[in-house]
Structure 1
């Protein structure tokens, strides 16, 4: 806006015009209206005076119109030049700032943003080879600093950016702060200064905050409610209160001093001259006194503060003044001091996640990956899409895979990866079977009905009844009986209250309403015709599952389950494909139709029988056994913890004892033996020396004493003996202390080994407890928008699957962090809130919860519990941990759990990446396979074909799909799957059971669970 004397020009308000026919004069640039021509001319003269300043460019000495045109041109230039991605962050940084000088404000903002980049911004990426590529920031993630236990910073805070390269449209670069820069001309201090001056204003009083212009704040949804402590009225009130408080403190000090003087009880004797009568003094002839005959001095000029009414103001002859006599205490009215309102209490974190101020720096949750085409909008992430997979099927596949792996011991199934399971569910070939797909169905079906030699083939689940022909005949008989009964009299028609001839005719001749016909469900399949002679229960009891047998059992089971209203629709949909009306109701039809059924119906069918499996008594017994096992493991863990505690206490005592027995360092260390010998030899040589004369060149030999050398040798020998005796005594003393010291050191080492062993045992028991925790799958946590995060390997299964599985070389089970959207109740309570709550939330944060969810989650949103996404790289996991805010209740728990499990999650993510990497041709030699009976499909094309059910071969001697082995004759052996048994036996221990990497049995409890 145009400035006049450094203040914005104030425009005149529109006048009240009563007569609509009167003439008015308008200044279009300022939108001012005048009813008087003189006022109009006066205003125009003021606007044409060259006393205005352009706020954007800072040019002064302009007319109002020139300054306005300069501002518009400068604003247009700034809007075109300043980066669009930086506008909102800069404005939010400047809003309510109290830095008075704009130069200092520009300096602070520039330092904050020169190394910070935002999505949508054009940048330059510096590669490792120092080459530079232009790109646009697509995504940004901030990582907070990590501090150690001692408070030191182990990792500085940093950011990572996904940059789409302009010259390489199909490539992206993941860079950090050190490998990304801006163009120097894009973000400069001069440009930033112009942008700030163009978009913010500031009032003239001292301490006024910078405020974004209302129209710009509305466009970027920036809060314009000035905080109370920054408002001018509050500032003025605070200054007045401070002055009043200072004055009251001064008056209080004066009042306290006066009250102190009034309360001083001084008992002074009367002046000494009062005891003597007055005497007349003769004038000694000097000059007359200036104030008469020895009269008292004039009263002193007392300060009014010290004057007391009724006190005689005179000075005694000795020249000393006395304090005034005490006055009766006066009751002063109490003063009421206005106390400023207390500051709001500090927020005690953690609080609800959605009550935390939104982060508006451009960061959002890492981009999710999807497996359905409906959710994936980015073509670059389409490599994870499963063809034909529906949105609702993802949860069914995860639930079914988790159930089969958790209860793999009950089902006698080898563990398998989720990727192999999905590939097996989508595998379709009428000539080749996928063993993983077949064995999963057969293992579950065999748990629903016992074999005919096991408890008479009892059914382990409750099934609805099928309609019988006899019941239909009984229904017909009941209908005939009802027809033979006398007819029920027809009720008389109701006549209206006001009867007329026409109304009576309408009632009498009205046709009766037709009775609604009962809805007869249309059957669009021929499932019932497949079991005329041989029922599915009998087939399952006899374990006749080969060559389409288990597919026919599935048809019969689903046909009978269609009587349950909850699954009627989906059962009929599956049966319409397995037993269509245009195909013969034979076992071959069921086999062919099942091989061509899509993955969605397959997942529905397998999930239905898995739900039935969870209702069996076998699962209940298994869960009880797991509960008892967990109790046993907890007791073992307590014992290890107690042993560790005792060892630590003993170690503390030994450390004190070690410090007491530690040898003290010698204060005056003895010289080295070599130095002692040199000193002795020097002394001996001094006994017999030649002293050269200062005058004569020839030395004069001094005659030594008799036997002087012998005496010197004797003294040397005695000194050596004394030194040896002292060293020996010292060594004995030191050896005695050293033995005890060494003994303590050995005990300390033993206690440390005990502590390490106890900690290792605790870790092992914790792993056993985790694997035995089967009742339910535990979620990692929820984020601020109630999205659930799952790591299915967290409990109830080994992290990498069973170590003796046929695909144990994969080294992982699922290898992904799965994200599930919020359910309906959570969405209604946290996101889709009522209108009053939505408005209150908008006034607080300038956005609704739904808008915040869309902003902070980025382009990949999950709107319901049926929608799933995942992360499968370490970078995405770290970015997720950095995005979570530990000030929120939900994200605090989730972040803590992710940090605890981070290493294990990343380890199995990396193993999954290695397992799914395309294998080279030379990696595995090709083997010759017999293909006379079935078409051979290479396991290099389909990894799921590598899976073999070795658990069933080891425990049953055959696969689930194979019939029960016949009793062997004398002298003959069952040669079926002998090769697989030999291969399996090579992995067993000497005790006859499989062992894991620690040498323990592979089961969670140490033994197989047999039923």
Structure 2
């Protein structure tokens, strides 16, 4: 900031400000993707007035408030650097970055190319910068200019460096036979090493690698060229560079903005049929005859007296040779009747969903609830898929979904086989000391292992934990402090002259007394908190001689080890205010105050723990894993993999586009030989018989006959061809759904009919057209090329589909929502991203062929509910006046009595019929439901298929239970009753095969002892001799 104080001369600083402004305005810092507009200069009348100046912009302010407001605007982190593309910067950071980047660009860009490139860019109307860069680069990459450093390739392939001195271009030549040669450019190059000059053509000259690239060209154009923000605006070289390289800056008239606007107005006028009129006189269009209207009987006389008052005569025409213009304005006849007002514009969809009127009888399919306390009163239905809902609270359903999704998306990090959601719910509900479920132990142990590294890996703690207070260390430190104070007192007594005691005053004594009382109060409060905590649980006593981190490093999970580690982790997290309430609630259940704090008690308590508390504890440790380096590194790897997949997809799409263009050209060549069969549909067969043309052999038929088996008729051949065309490689498209038998038959039948029609057309065509052998050979060659290119297109489509699926599975950072409905309910299909559709194909329960199998519905969050559903009373009254109901009443009526009201409430849809009904219920005229409906239609087949697979998987247990009941009834009543067996559960079939393959054991078991190395024969003999001991000898009597 520069401020002119009164009494200073203000002329020189003002001139300097102007110079700085013109210097830096060549830079373009962007704000909201547009260049920052600087304030215009203010005229300072008083030379002694104080002014405030911003050096980077050259702006001068006479008011300090204006200066501060402008500085506040420049200090916002909303500016972009145009050259580097960096965003989220302040104006000054972006200014310095652009200044530095501009200098680097100007220093690295070839000086000899700057002028020619800027002349080429000037007044270009290509709107996209990428297209402009491509066009300029393609034109200049093989064109060289005097002053450029190049490499010259001599005979023998030797490259030498030189400098272009001169350039001569020769136009194309026309030879005697009429052929035209390409233009040739010759360069005079000065060789650096020998200072010799040589003449070379563009075939033997090139630039060094990196001397001229697209990225450099893009940065240079950004630095030196500007373009206004209207359609068709030309690119303009900045004035500084235009003056430097002598480039004309006068914009041609046809490229100016006002010219473009005038052209658009003329086009609109032509479309509407309105002619331009000047001073009320039409000067365009054909002459119109006057429109005569019959006058009433009472007005016939008046009409004769008033001349042509009743006629509607064009003003530019004359009546009886006299101009039709009247001398008095009050006697002018109107040109035409006033145009009626335009009709109201039709509503443009989509609009806000709740702005659409409700439809009578339009009901959303009923939701199901996996809890004992649904948000609305619903009739309890027997749901065989969730027999444990009587123990699950609605507040736990969200945690169930969150933990299951986390464990399956990051199953490779946890080294866990994927598992279905129904097995997960069953596991968390039935696991106990009587029913040992491997999935229950493996989930907890695998997640705990991610939090702390093993001893082999260094034993590092990968999460941030609150510090625990160590009473013993505090007492020891207090004793040491007292001893030190005593020793210091003795030394002070020995040397009274060196350290005289300070005189005690009343204020100092009062201060010491206040500090002592405050310390005693803090200690009492701490003791009270500790006593209260011990009265609620005995976690403190359980952890006194147990270091849970050390045991977790050693992987001591057996015999209640992981349960005690969980207690230690929860106890330490309870010192953090964010986790305090949840952790203390869990510790009351695991280490109750009326039980002995032992490992066996903790193990028993965890086995008897309520399912809601189990899910809460698992949710806490799953949330902690998001802080670890392993999960974050996995996310970064997936992000890099997705970038690679996107590049591969672009490449395959490019190949497909090129193949489609080749097929189009080949079809045009084919049509030149034989027109489309459509023109021969109406040919009379009798005429064909009379002509007696020789029947030609069609290439399609010959190829099919060669490839197809002998004895196959046309329908069989078409079926085989259809199957080959429709089948995707199984090793790549594992998620491809198999069609049902009925659909296959219908498809084959339709393909057969279509093939018969095509063959009938081709037959008529063959009989009409006669080809020479050379044309026949060329025609067959073209057809083979078309078939080859179509195969390439099919391969590209299959590869793009595989890459799309890989992108979907690698998209793991967050769960993607399908969309929202009119009442702002969110819809989730958890298989949409981050995991295979049916779980890992190598999982022990991969035969289920589904992961979650339900469409989940979450209620609106608080802001959406308060803003859109339960709005202010005035808005509700307006809505009721318009639609005769409030939004809440509409929600209750259209959601069929199964509503969710908050983001902590969940419902689900599990039937394919309900999915179809949901799609029909959605209105595509609304913003939200248009997107949701599009997503549901996109994934409809997948969702319905996995819903069916879920029903089959869950139906196996029902059938097995019925068989067991039948066998029990048939058993004889005379047989003594047996001990009741424990029920069998689906979740017992799950096994952690991933851990067995990668580790050699499951997580909950200790690792096997290392195998003993094979000993040499010498050591083996020595060990055997030692084991036998000394040889026994008989004693003689």
Normalised by the shorter chain, which TM-score bucket?
Answer: 0.5 to 0.7
1:743 to 758, 778, 781: 781
Superposed displacement of residue 362, structure 1: 2.5
* Aligned partners of 1:452 and 1:541 also within 8 Å: yes
- For the residues of structure 2 that align with 1:640 and 1:583, how far apart are their CA atoms? 66
Q: Where is the helix percentage greater, Structure 1 or Structure 2?
A: 2
Indicate yes or no: 2:303 matched with 1:305.
Answer: yes
Deviations 1:244-263 (A, max 9, x none): xxxxxxxxx999879xxxxx
**Equivalence for 1:968:** 1011
- For the residues of structure 1 that align with 2:644 and 2:324, how far apart are their CA atoms? 89
2:927 to 889, 911, 917: 889
Deviations 1:275-329 (A, max 9, x none): xxxxxxxxxxxxxxxxxxxxxxxxxx994432479xxxxxxxxxxxx99999973
1:356 to 1:471, Cα distance in 2 relative to 1, 3 A: farther
Q: What SS class does the counterpart of residue 789 from structure 1 fall into?
A: strand
**Equivalence for 2:369:** 370
Q: What SS class does the counterpart of residue 862 from structure 1 fall into?
A: coil
1:515 to 1:603, Cα distance in 2 relative to 1, 3 A: closer
* Aligned partners of 1:886 and 1:892 also within 8 Å: yes
**Equivalence for 1:813:** 851
**Equivalence for 1:946:** 989
Which aligned pairs between 1:429-448 and structure 2 lie closer than 5 A?
429-448=432-451
Q: What SS class does the counterpart of residue 907 from structure 2 fall into?
A: strand
- For the residues of structure 1 that align with 2:993 and 2:321, how far apart are their CA atoms? 113
- For the residues of structure 2 that align with 1:897 and 1:324, how far apart are their CA atoms? 73
Indicate yes or no: 2:561 matched with 1:559.
Answer: no
Superposed displacement of residue 583, structure 1: 1.5
* Aligned partners of 1:939 and 1:946 also within 8 Å: no
Q: What SS class does the counterpart of residue 857 from structure 2 fall into?
A: strand
Which aligned pairs between 1:488-499 and structure 2 lie closer than 5 A?
none
**Equivalence for 2:804:** 766
Deviations 1:660-685 (A, max 9, x none): 223999976568899xxxxxxxxxxx
- For the residues of structure 2 that align with 1:304 and 1:367, how far apart are their CA atoms? 78
- For the residues of structure 2 that align with 1:970 and 1:327, how far apart are their CA atoms? 122
Superposed displacement of residue 477, structure 1: 8.9
- For the residues of structure 2 that align with 1:878 and 1:308, how far apart are their CA atoms? 75
- For the residues of structure 2 that align with 1:325 and 1:424, how far apart are their CA atoms? 101
1:575 to 1:735, Cα distance in 2 relative to 1, 3 A: same
* Aligned partners of 2:827 and 2:855 also within 8 Å: yes
Question: Which structure's CA Rg is the greater one?
Answer: 1
**Equivalence for 2:69:** none
**Equivalence for 2:888:** 850
- For the residues of structure 2 that align with 1:864 and 1:366, how far apart are their CA atoms? 19
**Equivalence for 1:347:** 347
Indicate yes or no: 2:937 matched with 1:899.
Answer: yes
Deviations 1:731-768 (A, max 9, x none): 99633222211111111111111111110111111000
Superposed displacement of residue 940, structure 1: 6.9
Superposed displacement of residue 803, structure 1: 0.3
- Superposition RMSD in Å: 4.0
* Aligned partners of 1:373 and 1:382 also within 8 Å: no
**Equivalence for 1:393:** 396
* Aligned partners of 2:693 and 2:770 also within 8 Å: no
1:611 to 1:306, Cα distance in 2 relative to 1, 3 A: same
* Aligned partners of 2:537 and 2:592 also within 8 Å: yes
- For the residues of structure 2 that align with 1:646 and 1:612, how far apart are their CA atoms? 49
Q: What SS class does the counterpart of residue 583 from structure 2 fall into?
A: helix
Superposed displacement of residue 581, structure 1: 1.4
1:426 to 1:923, Cα distance in 2 relative to 1, 3 A: closer
* Aligned partners of 2:350 and 2:924 also within 8 Å: yes
* Aligned partners of 1:416 and 1:801 also within 8 Å: yes
Q: What SS class does the counterpart of residue 510 from structure 2 fall into?
A: coil
Q: What SS class does the counterpart of residue 389 from structure 2 fall into?
A: coil
Structure 1 residues without counterparts, runs of 5 or longer: 1-252, 259-300, 310-321, 492-513, 675-729, 927-935, 973-1011
- For the residues of structure 1 that align with 2:325 and 2:803, how far apart are their CA atoms? 87
**Equivalence for 2:510:** 487
* Aligned partners of 2:586 and 2:617 also within 8 Å: yes
**Equivalence for 1:170:** none
**Equivalence for 2:907:** 869
2:1001 to 947, 955, 958: 958
Deviations 1:588-623 (A, max 9, x none): 111111010011110110000001111101111111
2:594 to 582, 593, 600: 582
Q: What SS class does the counterpart of residue 827 from structure 2 fall into?
A: strand
**Equivalence for 2:561:** 549
**Equivalence for 1:833:** 871
* Aligned partners of 1:367 and 1:858 also within 8 Å: yes
Deviations 1:876-904 (A, max 9, x none): 00110011110100000000000000000
**Equivalence for 1:607:** 619
**Equivalence for 1:405:** 408
- For the residues of structure 1 that align with 2:870 and 2:772, how far apart are their CA atoms? 81
Superposed displacement of residue 342, structure 1: 4.6
Superposed displacement of residue 954, structure 1: 0.4
2:456 to 448, 453, 456: 453
- For the residues of structure 2 that align with 1:946 and 1:782, how far apart are their CA atoms? 37
- For the residues of structure 2 that align with 1:363 and 1:826, how far apart are their CA atoms? 23
Q: What SS class does the counterpart of residue 379 from structure 1 fall into?
A: coil
Q: What SS class does the counterpart of residue 549 from structure 2 fall into?
A: helix
* Aligned partners of 1:369 and 1:381 also within 8 Å: no
The more displaced of 843-852 and 587-596 is 843-852
- For the residues of structure 2 that align with 1:969 and 1:619, how far apart are their CA atoms? 36
1:515 to 1:612, Cα distance in 2 relative to 1, 3 A: closer
- For the residues of structure 2 that align with 1:901 and 1:323, how far apart are their CA atoms? 78
- For the residues of structure 1 that align with 2:963 and 2:948, how far apart are their CA atoms? 21
Deviations 1:90-111 (A, max 9, x none): xxxxxxxxxxxxxxxxxxxxxx
1:924 to 1:478, Cα distance in 2 relative to 1, 3 A: farther
Q: What SS class does the counterpart of residue 870 from structure 1 fall into?
A: strand
1:737 to 1:395, Cα distance in 2 relative to 1, 3 A: same
- For the residues of structure 1 that align with 2:474 and 2:814, how far apart are their CA atoms? 44
**Equivalence for 1:625:** 637
Superposed displacement of residue 529, structure 1: 1.8
1:533 to 1:648, Cα distance in 2 relative to 1, 3 A: same
- For the residues of structure 2 that align with 1:855 and 1:863, how far apart are their CA atoms? 14
- For the residues of structure 1 that align with 2:625 and 2:909, how far apart are their CA atoms? 31
- For the residues of structure 1 that align with 2:439 and 2:347, how far apart are their CA atoms? 55
Superposed displacement of residue 381, structure 1: 2.3
Structure 2 residues without counterparts, runs of 5 or longer: 1-287, 294-298, 308-319, 486-503, 515-520, 695-767, 966-978, 1016-1037
* Aligned partners of 2:856 and 2:908 also within 8 Å: yes
**Equivalence for 1:221:** none
**Equivalence for 1:381:** 381
* Aligned partners of 2:645 and 2:807 also within 8 Å: yes
Indicate yes or no: 2:427 matched with 1:424.
Answer: yes
- For the residues of structure 2 that align with 1:740 and 1:822, how far apart are their CA atoms? 66
**Equivalence for 1:734:** 772
- For the residues of structure 1 that align with 2:523 and 2:339, how far apart are their CA atoms? 80
Superposed displacement of residue 413, structure 1: 0.4
Q: What SS class does the counterpart of residue 818 from structure 1 fall into?
A: strand
1:338 to 1:539, Cα distance in 2 relative to 1, 3 A: same
* Aligned partners of 2:431 and 2:440 also within 8 Å: no
1:537 to 549, 557, 574: 549
Which aligned pairs between 1:597-746 and structure 2 lie closer than 5 A?
597-662=609-674, 669=689, 734-746=772-784
Q: What SS class does the counterpart of residue 635 from structure 1 fall into?
A: helix
1:308 to 1:830, Cα distance in 2 relative to 1, 3 A: closer
- For the residues of structure 2 that align with 1:302 and 1:469, how far apart are their CA atoms? 120
Q: What SS class does the counterpart of residue 439 from structure 1 fall into?
A: helix
* Aligned partners of 1:432 and 1:937 also within 8 Å: no
